[in-house]
Structure formats: C-alpha cells, structure tokens
Structure 1
Amino acid sequence: MPTGIALRDVREQLFAAAERVLLRAGPSGLTSRAVTDEAGCAKGVLHRHFSDFDDFLAELVRDRIAQLARDATELRDAAGTGTVDDNLADAVTKVFGPVAVAIVSLIIFRDELRTRLRRTRPIGVPLLSDATVMVSEYLTAERELGRLTPDADVDALAPTLIGAGHLLFADRTGTPPDAVAVRRMVATVLSGSQIR
C-alpha cells in the first residue's frame, strides 16, 4: 500500500522540504527521513530519484546555484542604473537569504557533500564562490561604465563583499542585519573605488 501523498514535481517538493528542515533544525537535523517526513512521502521516493542522500544534497546545492545564476543576470543588467551601493546591498541581501545561509552551513558541515561538489567546483565554497563571481562580473561592468575607478580591483573587492556579507548574515538563528547595516558594509568596502 502506498504511503504519503502523490508528488507532482518530486524533485522540487523534496528540495522545498529539505530547505524547511534545514531552516528549522540546521545541518545536523537534515536527514533523508526528516526530508521525506516533511514532504509527506515514503523514504523510498527520495532514493528512487537520487542515488543516495549526498547525491540529493548535491543536487539541492546545484539548484540553489542555478537560482543564483538568474540573480547574477539581473545584477549585471542593473549595471549603470541606480547606485552601485544600492545594487550591491540588494544583491548581498538576496544572496544571503536564510536558505542560502543554511546551505552554506550544510556544505561546511558535510564532508561527503563537499567532496561531491568539488568534482565540478574545485575551488572555494560552492554558492559563496558563485556569488563572488556574480559580484565580480557586476563590478567589472560598472568599472567599464566609468562608475568605478579604472584601477578598482574587482578581484579583491568581490570576495571582500561576499565575505563581509556572509559574516553579517551567518548567524542563522539571529536577526538578519537591516538594510542600513548592509549598505554601510558595501559603502565601506567600495570606499575609494567609486567615482561619485
């Protein structure tokens, strides 16, 4: 007799369930049983679609990276509009939403997950590295448009912004920083690199 509920888009429903568990219980509480219980389906459903739990988690991370790629396009398209500080503050806030912060913790927490992700992303922490590339591409576009100084070192500024952003948002149980704090961090990192 079947257990649980019929799942239309199994992958997306399992990912959504994993994100809810991750937000509620953290990396140590994220198990295949917790995910399938949250999704309201039998444990075998997950294993029919993924070779094992770490394969599932790797696909979850890749799905979030794909979402970040869409955000990167939006950020690049914003070059030359608004202010550089506001565009980056909005992007950093979006990058470090609660689910992304929890996923970064998960990547750091699970050795096997990191090993699997390293097969295609050998450098840095996945998601954080992708966010750094996103910011670097945006800063390059702004420099080319003359809104940053010609000698602005985007390869140093981008990881500094992502690292500082991660520190601001890293406490998944605390209150996230407000928009003023994020904008102040961005302005401080970019001080001396912007043409006003």
Structure 2
Amino acid sequence: MPTGTAIRHVREQLFRAAERILLREGPNALTSRAVTDEAGCAKGVVHRHFVDFDSFLAELVRDRITRLGDRSAALRAAAGTGTVADNLTGALTALFDPVAVAIVGLVTSRDGLRARLRHTTPTGVPLLTEAAAMLSGYLAAERELGRLAADADTDTLAATLVGAAHLLFADREGAPPDTAVVHRTADAVVSGALPRATPDE
C-alpha cells in the first residue's frame, strides 16, 4: 500500500546514507544525526521508523544479510561448472565488497549492535556467519557432484575461506586484493579437499 511503500523508501534512503558514511568515514562517524543529514531527511526520522539507533543499525546489517540470498542461489547454480577455485574467487570478491567490509567493522565495534543481532545470528560475526553458510552450501553441492572429496568438511572449509578472505579485504584504506591473490587463497584452502586420484589414473 502507499504508506508501506513510503516507509520502505525511507528505510532504503537511510540505509544507503549509512553505507555512504561507513565507506567515507568509518563506523565511528555513524550517528543518527549523521545519517539523517546524509539522507537529506528531517532530524529524528530514524527514531520515527526504528525503536532506537541500534535497532536501525541491526536492520541495516540484516538488510545486507538478506542480499546474500540471491548470491547464494547463483553460487549453488554454478556448482559443476568452471573450477571450484574460480567459483569461490568470484563469490569471495563479490561478498567482500567495500560496503560489506565496512559493515563487518561496524558490527565488531559496537557491543549493543552485536547483542541485537544475536536474535538472528546466535553465534559468530553477523554477515560473516551467513557468508560461511552460503559457501558451505555451495561446497556441499560440489561434494555431491564428486568435485570435492566425499569426506570434505564443507563447514570448516567455508569458515577458513571467509576468515582468509576477510584478512585480504579488511584494509578499508587500501586497494582491494588482485583477483589472482584471492584465487590463490581459495585454491590453497580447497586443494586438500579435491578428490584424490586413484593409482591407475
């Protein structure tokens, strides 16, 4: 309905404003006043749509997590095509875009925000936990196709990939790593889980 559409529009406007501040100035610059100024909204509009600022930030993070759904479906659809390392390289590069890296920094810097997010992400670091689940699902699909060893621990592989990639992308001030570096990391993580050749091969 019109009212619902208007509310969604305001939420999106505020979320995108918050992302711009994160990219430009980092988590410490993110305040209710800064967000409304950046969005060109009236002061106090955040508190008309959210219980408090931590609730707003929690919804910002959940909005980003929700966007993983389409990426997860596309990654699973890629199972059986290309190489596993190639597919993981593309997924990790898309996953750790500058906004996502900034949001992870936001989550780790605010205790109140992490507490709010525990309702939907009980363990781990919100966004990174869901990203690991996405990668694990893809790796499980590759395992079913025989492109990973039958005993491959996809959860551990996925967590290792997320941790290693986060280290590569975490420098907010520097340039993102080259694709070759990301590929080398992905290949190093999954190489031990590739099917082992039999003696007659």
TM-score range, shorter-chain basis? over 0.9
- For residues 71-125 of structure 1, give each alpha carbon's deviation from its aligned partner in whole angstroms, at most 9, with x where no partner exists: 1111111111111111100001111100000000000001100000012211000
- For residues 3-57 of structure 1, give each alpha carbon's deviation from its aligned partner in whole angstroms, at most 9, with x where no partner exists: xxx9981010100000000111101011111111110111221111111111100
Hey, what's the Cα distance between the residues in 2 that align with 1:7 and 1:146?
Answer: 47
Counterpart residue type for residue 109 of structure 2: F
Contact 1:80 1:147 in 2 (8 A): yes
1:67 is matched with which residue?
A: 67
Structure 1 residue runs of 5 or longer lacking an equivalent are: 1-5
1:163 is matched with which residue?
A: 163
Contact 1:101 1:172 in 2 (8 A): yes
TM-score (norm: length of structure 2): 0.92
Percent identity over the alignment?
66
Counterpart residue type for residue 32 of structure 1: S
Hey, what's the Cα distance between the residues in 1 that align with 2:26 and 2:156?
Answer: 31
Contact 1:7 1:13 in 2 (8 A): no
Hey, what's the Cα distance between the residues in 2 that align with 1:8 and 1:26?
Answer: 25
Hey, what's the Cα distance between the residues in 2 that align with 1:8 and 1:63?
Answer: 12
Hey, what's the Cα distance between the residues in 1 that align with 2:134 and 2:120?
Answer: 18
Contact 1:88 1:186 in 2 (8 A): yes
1:38 is matched with which residue?
A: 38
1:128 is matched with which residue?
A: 128
2:93 is matched with which residue?
A: 93
Counterpart residue type for residue 106 of structure 1: L
After superposing on structure 2, the runs of 4+ consecutive aligned residues of structure 1 that deviate more than 2 Å are: none
The 1:111/1:8 distance shift into structure 2, 3 A limit, reads: closer
State how many pairs are aligned: 191
Counterpart residue type for residue 99 of structure 1: V
Counterpart residue type for residue 20 of structure 2: R
TM-score (norm: length of structure 1): 0.94
Hey, what's the Cα distance between the residues in 2 that align with 1:52 and 1:150?
Answer: 48
Counterpart residue type for residue 111 of structure 2: D
Counterpart residue type for residue 180 of structure 2: V
1:51 is matched with which residue?
A: 51
2:192 is matched with which residue?
A: 192
Cα RMSD for the two superposed structures: 1.5
Does structure 1 residue 182 correspond to structure 2 residue 178? no
Aligned residue for 1:174, secondary structure, equals: coil
